Amino acid sequence: MSHDVVVIGAGSVGLPLAYFLSLLGTKVLVLDKNRSPGQGENKAAIGGVRASHSEPVKILAAKRSIEILSELKLDEELEYKRGGYLFVARSESALGSMKTAHKVLNRFGVPSSILKPDDLSRVVPGINRSLYCGALFSPRDINISPLKTAYMFYRRARDLGARFEFSRAVTGFRLNGERIQSARTENGEYRGAVFVLANGAGITETGKALGLDVPVHSDSHEAGITAPYRPVLGPMFVDTGADDDRISRTFYFTQNGVGAFIFCYTPYTSLYGKHATSLFGPTIARRMIGAIPSLKNVYVRRTWRGYYPNTPDGVPIADRVRDYKNLYILGGMCGQGVMLGPGLAESFAHYIVQGTSLFPEEHFKALSFYREFKNEELLR
């Protein structure tokens, strides 16, 4: 059986892509190495969805993601919460970057404001204001359940006719000149007119099977969640400073839609592997309690690890590959697949089917597989 589009990856990018391709009347097959949808890096995400970026195409994609999820939440239980994002600054240099990003956000119609230290308690009661010289607040950003959102896109795509094959790790491809004829798995081959690599942390290895050097490096981040409590924290709290022990850089946490505090930090040194370390608990606890002292009594239920598939400049890849006439890449989300996935997938589905993106060309080209990867996202 042949399909119009074969999507490799059933995660925070591949699932909404399958949904939007199906809405356009495309016959879709999704292959995934896991046993069910959303079981890769999507499962490890903490659910933040923010339009507060400094790169225009990421702003456009995330704004659209928020619109899509806000529309779908009317019919779905996604643990949806609108609380915004608060980026706190420990130095004038960090605050300067936030002020630059603030100007970009205003240009693209994303409500945001620069807060002085005295304003912080209004947004986060109990905050230790002595640590911070200001903040950037984006009030319309949201938080959702990554697993429930993934399952929603899976179910909706399936109901529209998309076919899913799980426990199907792609091991290679059969080629016919400059076209891919089929994807090989241990369970057989799957034919398609178009193929899309959308398999997150595995996209580099899959690309190697086609002779491609996909510039995505995956490093490991640890996260955790507490028992649920009454709502006290609205926004996602993002501290962009590194700790004195050089263990963690940015750390961030929020209270999700069911009242649990969910948290993560960026390791100072890039890590690889999904085994927990002894450093995470004490480090994140010290930093969270330092920021909001009243959190010292919350009960942590579990921690876990997941991969951030990073590009060199912090911007995803969404492009057609020139080496093959029927191959596309949608990946390198830098740990932001949940927030960028729906908006990027909708636009990319149009690009695959109709040849044009929903984003202006001047911004869409920032997602090129062939760019120089030299810019740096300020709110990465």
3-state secondary structure 305-357: EEEEEECCCCCCEEEECCCCCCEEEEECCCCCHHHHHHHHHHHHHHHHHHCCC
Residue 23 sits in a domain whose CATH number is 3.50.50.60
Per-residue pLDDT reduced to its tens digit, 235-277: 999 998 998 888 999 999 999 999 999 999 999 887 777 677 7
Residues 182, 277, single domain; the answer is no
Q: What is the rounded average pLDDT of the residues 51-72? A: 96
Q: Is residue 201 part of a domain?
A: yes
What's the CATH number where 236 sits? 3.30.9.10
Whether residue 71 lies inside any domain: the answer is no
Co-location of 223 and 332 in the same domain: no
Does residue 374 register a pLDDT over 90?
Answer: no
Furthest C-alpha separation in the chain: 65
Let me know if residue 375 belongs to a domain.
Answer: no
Average pLDDT over residues 88-107: 95
User: Based on the structure, what is the number of domains in the chain?
Assistant: 2
Which pLDDT does position 277 carry in this prediction?
A: 77
What is the average per-residue pLDDT within 147-169? 98
For the ranges 205-209, 221-225, 269-273, 334-338, the lowest mean pLDDT is seen at 269-273
Asked whether residue 128 falls in the same domain as residue 223, the answer is yes
Q: What is the pLDDT of residue 336?
A: 96
Mean pLDDT of the chain: 95
**pTM higher than 0.95 for the full model?**
yes
**How are beta strands 300-310 and 217-228 bridged, if at all?**
antiparallel
Q: With b meaning 16 or more CB within 10 Å and e meaning fewer, what string describes 1-26? A: eebbbbbbbbbbbbbbbbbbbbebeb
Please give the residue range of the domain that contains residue 270.
84-143+218-310
Q: Do residues 279 and 194 share a domain?
A: no
Q: Judge whether 76 lies within some domain.
A: no
pLDDT for 67-79, tens place per residue? 999 999 888 899 9
In a domain, 26, yes or no: yes
Q: What average pLDDT does range 184-210 have in this prediction?
A: 97
Q: What is the pLDDT of residues 318-355, one digit of tens each?
A: 999 999 999 999 999 999 999 999 999 999 999 999 99
Considering the domain boundaries, does residue 293 fall inside one? yes
The single-letter DSSP state of residue 16 is H
pLDDT at position 148 is 97
